[in-house]
């Protein structure tokens, strides 16, 4: 088992993992789910997705990813793992050799970016410019 700076998969909320489960690896399903949430909830989902993903973009996981993989490719792989749901994420966390060596860019099962798209469509600003609602 890995221990990166004390992070554990359970540090990501059950709420987040439930949304991922409900989306069932389908970007359009996730779009529909997120479109019913508040601005702060969409932002929270986005931040938790990024937090879960970044934890897989370092050692020991890098040791099992193709050595020729670009930084963006490593991020795509991590995003794909998060998109598979909590059980898969936790399995990879416990056994880093389970991380894919490569994933195809634009995989339909990669849910990353949907929150940013929904956010910008609904609130006419990029998710990176999020402000807490009053």
Q: Which of 110, 100, 96, 89 is nearest to 65 (CA)?
A: 100
**More reliable by pLDDT, 5 or 18:** 18
Mean pLDDT value of segment 22-36: 96
Q: What is the mean pLDDT of the chain?
A: 91
pLDDT at 1 over 50: no
Residue with tokens 């991590």: 78
Q: Tell me, what's the pLDDT at 108? A: 66
Are 26 and 120 a contacting pair, CB within 8 Å?
no
Burial of 50 (0-12, 13-18, 19+ CB in 10 A): middle
DSSP state of 118: H
Tens-digit pLDDT profile for residues 82-131:
999 999 999 999 999 999 999 886 666 799 999 999 999 999 999 988 87
Mean pLDDT value of segment 22-41: 96
């Amino acid at each position: 088992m890995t221990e990166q700076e004390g992070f554990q998969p359970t540090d990501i909320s059950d709420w987040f993992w439930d949304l991922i489960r409900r989306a069932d690896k389908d970007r359009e399903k996730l779009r529909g789910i997120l479109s019913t949430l508040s601005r702060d909830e969409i932002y929270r989902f986005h931040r938790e997705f990024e937090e879960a993903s970044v934890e897989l973009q370092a050692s020991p996981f890098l040791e099992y990813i193709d050595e020729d993989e670009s930084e963006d490719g490593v991020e795509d792989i991590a995003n794909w793992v998060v998109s598979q749901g909590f059980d898969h994420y936790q399995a990879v966390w416990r056994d880093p050799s389970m991380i894919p060596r490569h994933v195809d860019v634009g995989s339909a099962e990669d849910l990353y970016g949907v929150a940013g798209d929904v956010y910008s469509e609904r609130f006419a600003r990029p998710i990176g410019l999020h402000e807490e609602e009053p």
